[in-house]
Homo-oligomer: A and B are copies of this chain.
Amino acid sequence: MEFRKYATSDSGDTLDVVERPNGGLSVVLADGQTSGRGAKTISTMVVRKVISLLAEGVRDGAAARAASDYLYTERNGKVTATLNIMSADLQTNTLVLSRNNPSPVFLAQEGQIDCLSSDSQSIGTSRNIRPSIFEVALQTGLTVVMYTDGLNHAGDRYGNPLDVCTTLEAILDEQDPSAQEIADSLLALAVRLDQGRPDDDMSVVVLRTKPNTGDSIRRMTVRLPVGFD
């Protein structure tokens, strides 16, 4: 299983990964309403809340609802954020996709790509906001792509919007692309459609489940481009 995440530096998006107490991993991605520092504060607050609940064994849906109530209470219902949770739950052996985001999530398996785009409300603006949840058995051959709306709106300004589904189909037609290659391709195309100057933060998370051909070692890599030197 391989997760891959991309974001520009100084992003208002926040992503974190947490080990589930009963086995597996969750990836939590949030995008605050405004851009820059304010958005970062909101998205960090939301992600921290969800991560701490998941780490205590709280179920994904309950964690998303709690994060919404928390944001509603903290900011008097005046600030909204999108929230996606992608969990590989090794207790239930399912992949759980929880979405409080108008942007869809794509699920590819056995040559078929589903666009999970049912109505979904961002969190924080009213009480009792619930996530759209999709659950599928965890097996090899799954690809999931989720992202923040900077990617969804890439190219809009130039009348040339990104068609994620068609793009993903083309990428998956190539020979067994890695999660990294999929994220790289989508992000590169989105930046190109925004003519090299995206006007919103973009984050992409890609999960692929693959037959385990290697060792049983867990690996995590983080690359952080910074301005020192």
Contacts and interface: CB of A to CB of B under 8 A. Distances in A.
B90 A226 contact: yes
A25 B90 contact: no
Contacts of A44: 19, 21, 55
A139 B229 contact: yes
A104 B52 CA distance: 31
Given A52-B52, A228-B138, A7 B223 contact: no
Interface string A1-21: 111111111010011111101
26 contacts: A1-B223, A3-B220, A3-B222, A4-B220, A5-B220, A8-B216, A8-B217, A9-B216, A9-B218, A15-B220, A17-B220, A24-B226, A25-B222, A48-B55, A88-B226, A139-B228, A139-B229, A179-B221, A180-B221, A187-B217, A209-B228, A212-B226, A215-B225, A216-B225, A218-B222, A218-B223
